[in-house]
Structure 1
Amino acid sequence: MSGGLRRRRTGGKPLRRAPGRRPELRTIVVFCEGIRSEPDYVLGLKRLPEIAENTALNIEIHPEQGAPITLVEMAVARKSDPEVDECWCLFDVEWPLNHPSLDAAVALAKANDIHLAISNPCFEVWLILHHEDQFRFENTDVIERRSRILDRRKGKGIDAAAYMPLRKEAFRRAAALEKRHAKDGRKLPHDNPSSGMHRFLAAVEGESVHRTVDRG
């Protein structure tokens, strides 16, 4: 499915505010592997006034919870739309059994300028980072259980509004994990725990998030 207001723009020209006119919105299309938590979170961002004023977030979900390579292929096809500024794919590594064709998905994305926000082992590690640090290597089941304990949810959907005030803390923690893995030479899929959602957040929110991590 997809959603969000999109205003037509042509080419990649920089945005200029015309007198008395609202600036055109950047259009970011987000491809989600999950059908609840990830779309819920993106919709929470979409509802924030400071984001809605500048960015149209359109969400597309594979009807069969497709593998990462499928999401990237969808994004490559969508990228040809001249109204689309960026395409992002949000997916998990999964542990102990990694998603098939993970390396191929990353390579295809890199070759086609598709942005990735990969969570290892799963998206719930990003949710955990809103509440606390997560340093220990864990499998998907353990991370999912800890996430549910922290926000007390019973189903797969999340209350995104409760996460929004904590997102900069999650950004700081995820960025710190990324630096730690880089320093120790750990790369995908061995960078457990980690989440690239902080880079997606920076793409959506811009400099305000960057300044937060610089102070961290």
Structure 2
Amino acid sequence: MSPRQPKGNNIPTRRSSIERRSSLERRSAGTRLERKRFLILCEGETEEAYFVGMRTRGGPVLEVANPKVDHLRIIEEAKRRQLVDDYDDDDQIWCVLDTELDSRLAEAMLAKAGPKVQLALSTPCFDFWLLLHHKDHRAPFQTAGHVEKALKSAVRGWTRGSTRFGDFQDGIEVACRRAKAIDSDGNDHMRNPSSSVWKLVESIRASAGE
């Protein structure tokens, strides 16, 4: 019996497009295919475009969404979807968020996430993760706007609304190395600058056999 339908209720429940697509991608003739699922909830369209670009044929199922709500509500939405959607223990639930140089916000996000939701945090912002694909930068940033300016200087033609994964694809491995050189375990979330997005990226790539 589906967890969405109380016992005795014969009214069919409409499944979301994500659920229907996942079901088709992961099952064939009633047999479950071995494709790990990643639910990735993003804070902005830049992050969304990057992770949509990481989808590969035959690789893990990347369900990427930008709920367009604040940090803590994004985590709440991730926890809600984890409960109502058909996720296995091997599947992963991630939220890609910025600390915005606010330690209280970072602490609140970590507390809200709990054991089921994993956080990929960037300080000051996700743009720093993108910058690491092109430049090994260690000096602190005063604001997220300064990171955006540095990224525009490193990637000609880049704007927040026109992020193309192809502009960063060749630098993924070096970006992971640079991020780990700054914070080797990805837990020093308020280090300025830093990003633990490498943990999510490496997990996706490992699931794809890269």
User: What TM-score range do you get, normalising by the shorter chain?
Assistant: 0.7 to 0.9
Q: Secondary structure at the match of 2:23?
A: coil
C-alpha distance in structure 2 between counterparts of 1:108 and 1:195, whole Å: 19
Aligned pairs for 1:188-207 (under 5 A) are 188-189=189-190, 191-206=191-206
Q: Which AA in structure 2 matches 1:164?
A: Q
| Percent identity of paired positions between Structure 1 and Structure 2 | 24
Change in 2 beyond 3 A, CA 1:67/1:99: farther
Contact preservation (8 Å) 1:2, 1:60: no
Contact preservation (8 Å) 1:67, 1:99: no
2:4 is aligned to none
Larger gyration radius, structure 1 or structure 2: 2
Aligned pairs for 1:59-208 (under 5 A) are 59-63=64-68, 66-80=69-83, 81-83=85-87, 85-95=91-101, 98=102, 101-109=105-113, 111-138=114-141, 139-156=143-160, 157-179=162-184, 187-189=188-190, 191-206=191-206
- Please say if 1:24 is aligned against 2:27: no
C-alpha distance in structure 1 between counterparts of 2:107 and 2:17, whole Å: 27
Q: Which AA in structure 1 matches 2:22?
A: R
Contact preservation (8 Å) 1:72, 1:108: yes
**Aligned partner (choices 44, 52, 63) of residue 53 of structure 2:** 44
Give the deviation of 1:165 after TM superposition. Answer: 1.4
Q: Secondary structure at the match of 1:179?
A: coil
Contact preservation (8 Å) 1:28, 1:87: yes
C-alpha distance in structure 1 between counterparts of 2:207 and 2:60, whole Å: 14
- Please say if 1:7 is aligned against 2:23: yes
Task: Please report the TM-score for the alignment, with normalisation by the length of structure 2.
Answer: 0.77
Q: Secondary structure at the match of 2:201?
A: helix
Q: Which AA in structure 2 matches 1:179?
A: S
C-alpha distance in structure 2 between counterparts of 1:117 and 1:195, whole Å: 7
Contact preservation (8 Å) 2:180, 2:186: no
C-alpha distance in structure 2 between counterparts of 1:9 and 1:181, whole Å: 32
Give the deviation of 1:113 after TM superposition. Answer: 1.6
Q: Which runs of 5+ in 1 are unaligned?
A: 11-17, 211-216
Contact preservation (8 Å) 2:129, 2:175: yes
Q: Secondary structure at the match of 2:49?
A: helix
Give the deviation of 1:123 after TM superposition. Answer: 0.5
Q: Which runs of 5+ in 2 are unaligned?
A: 1-15
Deviations 1:157-176 (CA, angstroms, capped at 9, x unpaired): 21211211111111111111
C-alpha distance in structure 1 between counterparts of 2:153 and 2:115, whole Å: 39
Q: Which AA in structure 2 matches 1:88?
A: W
C-alpha distance in structure 2 between counterparts of 1:180 and 1:116, whole Å: 13
Task: Please report the TM-score for the alignment, with normalisation by the length of structure 1.
Answer: 0.75
Change in 2 beyond 3 A, CA 1:155/1:168: same
Give the deviation of 1:44 after TM superposition. Answer: 1.2
Give the deviation of 1:202 after TM superposition. Answer: 1.4
Change in 2 beyond 3 A, CA 1:180/1:118: closer
